[in-house]
């Protein structure tokens, strides 16, 4: 794919809303398309997505969750990694570790676990999806010092805020 910056305010395309109501088990992955995922029932497994997950008041999730925005109104047993925002509403009950650069725990929510709010660090695959640029191109840019990042052993790590600044400055060309 060509060089392009993923815009934060993209509207959801037709068909990108997914609802899970009956009990379900498995691994759900949405990496290529921005989704609005709603779970209102029982789910066991793992969830990885780009977009927003809303776990409704009747939801019972036994899952590790990784995605952009996560809004919990029901019960979750498992770790949650929100890349942008995590919201625990008053009816939320979460047993597990959480990680998010922005966190909102509304009065009444129950949370048992560890919380990490460090800067949002991305690996090369996450930067590739975030900027919609091929992973090989990201590696070439990083190796040439044309994209802000740091090498840790055999991998690259990137701070989302620096990537946002770099992309908005027009240096993608």
Cα gap 127→103, rounded to integer Å: 22
pTM above 0.75, yes or no: no
Cα gap 33→149, rounded to integer Å: 25
pLDDT tens per residue, the chain (173 residues)?
344 433 344 444 444 889 998 999 999 998 777 899 999 999 999 999 989 999 999 999 999 999 999 999 999 999 999 988 999 999 999 999 999 988 999 999 999 999 988 667 888 988 998 888 999 999 999 999 999 999 988 889 998 888 988 988 877 75
**Given this model, what pLDDT does residue 160 score?**
83
Domains assigned to the chain: 17-116 (no CATH), 121-168 (3.90.105)
What dihedral do alpha carbons 121, 26, 8, 146 form, nearest 10°? 40
List the one residue out of 70, 105, 69 whose CA is nearest residue 90: 105
**Given this model, what pLDDT does residue 32 score?**
73
Task: List beta partners, residue 117.
Answer: none
């Amino acid at each position: 794919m060509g060089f392009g910056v993923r815009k934060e305010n993209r509207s959801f395309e037709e068909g990108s809303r997914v609802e899970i109501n009956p009990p379900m088990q498995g691994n759900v992955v949405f990496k290529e398309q921005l989704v609005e995922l709603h779970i209102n029932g029982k789910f066991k497994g793992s969830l990885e997505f780009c977009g927003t997950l809303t776990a409704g008041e009747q939801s019972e999730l036994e899952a590790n969750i990784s995605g952009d925005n996560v809004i919990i109104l029901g019960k979750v047993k498992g770790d949650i990694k929100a890349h942008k925002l995590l919201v625990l509403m008053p009816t939320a009950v979460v047993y597990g570790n959480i990680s998010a650069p922005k966190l909102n725990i509304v009065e009444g929510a129950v949370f048992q676990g560890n919380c990490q709010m460090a800067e949002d660090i991305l690996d090369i695959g996450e930067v590739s999806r975030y900027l919609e640029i091929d992973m090989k191109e990201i590696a070439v840019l990083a190796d040439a010092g044309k994209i802000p990042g740091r090498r840790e052993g055999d991998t690259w790590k990137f701070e989302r805020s620096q990537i946002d600044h770099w992309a908005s400055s027009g240096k993608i060309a």
